[in-house]
Amino acid sequence: MEPKRELLEALCANARTDTADLARQTGLSESEVEAAIADLEGEGTIRGYQAIVDWEEVDEDHARAAVELNVTLDRETGYAEVSERLAKFPEVSSLHLVSGNYDFLMIVEASSVRRISRFVSEKVAPVPEVTQTVTHFVMETYKEGGIEMNGDDDDDRLSVSP
């Protein structure tokens, strides 16, 4: 595997791995790791690093919804223009153009269900191109970013085996 690709995989497994450990894992020198990460960031391959949070464990309200959007386009306005407008809202945590019965799948996060409802009705629905919204509130999250929320990581192997 190409070193940059290898670095990406190591970072996807744990973005907090420090440079020295990344170097050990990939066989690159620390300065090569620094340079490769700078490249990956510079060229926009790596767009950021985030924690995967189980909000159930945080003593604070948190709500999330998947919103289906249908839009109508015209000669001046394409998906790119609409998406740009929607993506600007901080409440929108991800936005995808999808195949199937609707155009966009939008994930919205806020401190309460009410805030999300207000956001969708007051900010999203009025966007001229948006013709329809269907909001699905998330009731439970089982897996996020490849990590199972209730996964137990107990090691039940024998401690020493041949």
Partner 1 sequence: MVLVKTSERVGRVPPSGIRKFFELAEEREDVISLGVGEPDFSAPWAARDAAIASLERGQTSYTANRGMRELREAIADHCADRYDLDYDPGEEVLVTTGVSEGVDVALRALVDPGDRVAMVDPSYVSYRPGVLLADGEPLPVRTREEEHFRLTYDALQRAGASEADLLILCYPNNPTGAVMREEHLEPVAEFCREHDLRVLSDEIYADLTYEGEHTSIATLDGMRERTIVFNGFSKAYAMTGLRLGYALGPAEGISAMNRIHQYSMLSAPTTAQHAALEALESCEEDVEEMVRAFNRRRRFVLSRFSEMGLDCFEAKGAFYVFPEVPGNDGTFAEGLLEEQGVAVVPGSVFGGAGEGHLRISYASGLPQLKEAMNRMEAFLA
Considering only the stretches 70-78, 99-107, 123-131, 154-162, report the one whose residues sit in contact with partner 1 under the rule CB under 8 A: 154-162
Q: Compute how many residues bind partner 1; rule: CB under 8 A.
A: 20
Measured in degrees and rounded to the nearest 5, phi and psi for residue 105 equal: -110, 120
Indicate if the alpha-carbon torsion angle 133, 134, 139, 144 is positive or negative: negative
Give the whole-angstrom CA distance, residue 130 versus residue 64: 20
105 near partner 1 (CB under 8 A): no
For residue 36, the minimal CB distance to partner 1 (Å) is 15
Please, which residue, 57 or 155, has the CB nearer to partner 1? 155
For residue 141, the minimal CB distance to partner 1 (Å) is 19
**DSSP letters along 46-111, please?**
---------GGGSSS--EEEEEEEEE---SS--HHHHHHHHHTSTTEEEEEE-SSSSSEEEEEEES
CB 97 within 8 A of CB 83: yes
Tokens 């926009």, located at residue = 44
Q: In the window 26-55, what residues touch partner 1 (CB under 8 A)?
A: 26-27
For residue 118, the minimal CB distance to partner 1 (Å) is 40
Q: Which of 47, 75, 88, 157 binds partner 1 (CB under 8 A)?
A: 157
Give the whole-angstrom CA distance, residue 135 versus residue 7: 37
Q: In the window 5-24, what residues touch partner 1 (CB under 8 A)?
A: 6, 9-10, 13-14, 17, 21, 23-24
- Contact footprint for partner 1 (CB under 8 A): 1, 6, 9-10, 13-14, 17, 21, 23-27, 155, 157-162
